[in-house]
Each structure stands twice: as structure tokens, then as C-alpha cells.
Amino acid sequence: MSLDMNLEIEGGSPDWAALEKAAKAAGVVELTNSFPHPERKSGVTNFYKTEEQFDGWFLKSRTSFRLHKKASLGNISAEGVHGCDFKVQYVIVFRPPNSGYDEFVEEIRIFLSILADLSSMQFVLSFQYEGVYATHNATGFSFHWDKPK
């Protein structure tokens, strides 16, 4: 049985550069980010459609993550108190192993706090869309792992 953590990201065009920088700062390895960002200008992407990918894994916990794209913008699926009101098209699903759970908590905290510092993009992290463990909204970043909302 897998225990998925879902990061619902604001909008149909998230800040991929900030996501990549935060992931690398949190120790993500073998990161694949097929989304364009300002520092990478390549004529190749003008001619070839690439698959949308944002995936990798955290080094210490061995937690893998993968991007899921909804067919269209929709409401936040996470239940609970999160104080966010935005439309979602992209969800990053984290799948931590049982043996690296404590390490995952530290890595995801680093990843999300850096992401919140780098971008105004809102997000909600939930456990299987039920309890809310972290948010970034108009009032700021909140990480409440011990007391999910």
C-alpha cells in the first residue's frame, strides 16, 4: 500500500523555475523538468512537443515524486482547513517509503519553505487529499506536520 502526499499547485502555468530550484536545494536528484524557464532558451522546443514532466526523488528518504496533470483547471481537492482559493491543473504526487519517512518530512519541509520564499504561487500539501500538512496562501507559508488541518 502506498501513502501518497499530494501537492496541489496554483493555476495552469506554475512557476517551474522556482519548483526546480527548491527541489534541487532540498536534495532532489535525477530531476526531470521539461517545462521551459527564462534561463533556458532553446529553439528545439519550438519545433518539438515534449512530454510534460517534473519528477525525481529525494536523496535521503528515497521518496519519488511525479507530476500529474488534470484535463482542465479545477478546484482544490484537499479536504480540511487550508485558507486557499485557487484553481489547480497540476499536482505533484510524492510517494515516501516507510523506511525513510522521517527524512522525507525534513526534505519536504525544506522544499516547500524554499518554494514559498522563491514564488508567490499558492499550494496545498495533503495526505491523500484528506489532512492538510502545508500551505502557501495569501497569509504566508505554514507547515503543520504534527497537527494536520
C-alpha cell read off for 63: 521518496
pTM score of the predicted model: 0.86
Instruction: Spell out the domain ranges in the chain.
Output: 5-35+51-143
Distance CA 132, CA 117 (A): 20
pLDDT digits (tens, 9 = 90+) for 82-127: 889 899 999 999 999 988 889 999 999 999 999 999 999 999 999 9
pLDDT digits (tens, 9 = 90+) for 47-68: 444 467 889 999 999 999 999 9
Nearest to 144 by CA among 128, 119, 120, 124: 124
CATH code, residues 5-35+51-143: 3.30.310
